Amino acid sequence: MNPGADRRPRVVLGVGAGIAAYKSCEVLRGLTESGHRVRVVPTPAALNFVGAATFEALSGQPVRTEVFDDVPDVAHVRIGQTADLVLVTPATADLLARAAAGRADDLLTATLLTARCPVLMVPAMHTEMWEHPATQANVATLRERGTVVAEPASGRLTGPDTGKGRLPDPAEIVELARLLLVRATALPRDLASRRVVVSAGGTREPVDPVRFLGNRSSGRQGYALARVAAHRGADVTLVAAHTADLADPAGARVVRVESAEELRKAVHAEAASADVVVMAAAVADFRPAEQAMSKIKKTGGEPTPLRLAANPDILAELVAARRDGQVLVGFAAETGDASGDVLHHGRAKLVHKGCDLLVVNAVGDGRAFGTEDNAGWLLAANGSETELPRGPKALLASAVWDAVTPLLGS
């Protein structure tokens, strides 16, 4: 193929010399499979962890590490100049230090100096190295210059120890990379020192010990909201109902719940000190009026009808108990019907719920639930209406935070 005809976004995947380098292969795979052209630029020492042949086979492109490789091509300048995104994963303490100092002592750091596209660095290191004032100062310098330095996750590190400094899940890194490519600008740290609560997933209302009433929500949109908020600097609590197949967002505290009542208690407890609450969870409006203590058996006759009781509307309760300056965001999944289209129902719901912002999604026909992408409208209490074009759920999440930040007091 004529290289000029290749319209795939170009990603430079920088790989630092940390044990998490092996996870960069999964990131590389995720990027190529979602239609990106990836050139891997490891540091020379990173090849101690993963061999060049692995990166070459997975990317279909040559792997070089030094500025003196490919001299006639002036690779140390060209790779950065032609990139749409430079993603460094894992970014070790040493690599962050060299990037912050503006060094160009290998092909990757030279590329960082010539890149004019968004740069995303995903740190992974031991907790002590992450918390060291030198590393924190380097991260602050890089962020000040517009580099997006992702929040590390907490959890198991190289050895038996656990703490902050773990590489976020590869799927989360790919999601963030896609977001930066679509936004084409850095993520602002405009939620720093803000406390944010996001509910996600779908509640299950027990019928008996083995059955429940549930819904199709996967939790992906709520997780994207939590992830993007954490990377914009917020202190995030995610109240998650039945999202077992999703990796915890890096930097967020996760509270797991089952039923609408458990979600209600958890959200109210967290909302008491929150600046923003986003109700992205699909909360059951009804629960079985009685929960059988043993499994309901077939009796051979007519089945006993299930009696339902209404669950409290948590968002309405939050609106009634709103703290001064608190911003409340709701979601509405609508299909449209004979009485009006999706937007008509969304407008009515915004007024009826009394929240500041309402994200309206059209659902049905395979849209929204369980998919990677989403689209809709963002309706504000001040009357503004913004169409949210189809794109990664992280992009919709980012648009929601763009609308939330101007509503936050100082």
Q: Which parts of this chain interact with ligand CTP (CB under 6 A)?
A: 260, 279, 281, 283, 285, 311, 313-315, 330-333, 349
Cβ nearer to ligand CTP, comparing 151 with 270: 270
**β-strand 119-123 against 85-91: which pairing, if any?**
parallel
Minimum Å distance from CB 334 to ligand CTP? 7
Q: How many CA atoms lie within 13 A of 17 on its CB side?
A: 12
Amino acid letter, residue 91 = A
Cβ partners under 8 Å of residue 387, min gap 6: 377
Q: With respect to ligand CTP, which residue has the nearer C-beta, 157 or 260?
A: 260
Nearest to 270 by CA among 251, 286, 250, 255: 255
Distance in angstroms (rounded) separating the CA atoms of residues 22 and 50: 6
- Shorter beta-carbon distance to ligand CTP: residue 126 or 347: 347
The least distance separating ligand CTP from the CB of residue 298, rounded to whole angstroms, comes to 31
Does the active-site annotation cover 215?
yes
Q: CA-to-CA distance for 246 and 343, rounded, in angstroms?
A: 30
* 3-state SS assignment for residue 297: coil
Least distance CB 305 / ligand CTP (angstroms): 21
Q: Which residue matches tokens 């008509």? A: 344
Strands (E), 92-231: 119-123, 148-149, 153-156, 162-166, 195-201, 205-208, 211-213
Rounded Cα gap, residues 15 and 45, in angstroms:
9
Nearer to ligand CTP, 52 or 319 (CB): 319
Name the DSSP letter for residue 35: T
Report the alpha-carbon distance of residue 193 to residue 35 in Å, rounded: 36
The least distance separating ligand CTP from the CB of residue 306, rounded to whole angstroms, comes to 18
Closest by Cα among 208, 198, 369, 201 to 287: 208
Question: Using an 8 Å Cβ cutoff, are 355 and 327 in contact?
Answer: no
For residue 253, give the 3-state DSSP assignment.
strand
User: For residues 31 and 241, which CB has a smaller minimum distance to ligand CTP in the complex?
Assistant: 241
Token pair for residue 174?
């790919």
State yes or no: cis peptide before 44, omega within 30 of 0. no
Q: Report the C-alpha gap between 165 and 250 in whole angstroms.
A: 10
Q: Given the complex with ligand CTP, which of 235 and 313 has the nearer CB atom?
A: 313
Residue tagged active-site, from 2, 48, 138, 215: 215
> Which of residues 168 and 219 has its CB atom nearest to ligand CTP in the complex?
219
Residue 142 vs 257, nearer CB to ligand CTP? 257
Strand-pair partners of 213? 205
Amino acid at the residue 210: V
Residues paired with 199 in a beta bridge: 239, 279
- Catalytic residue ranges: 215
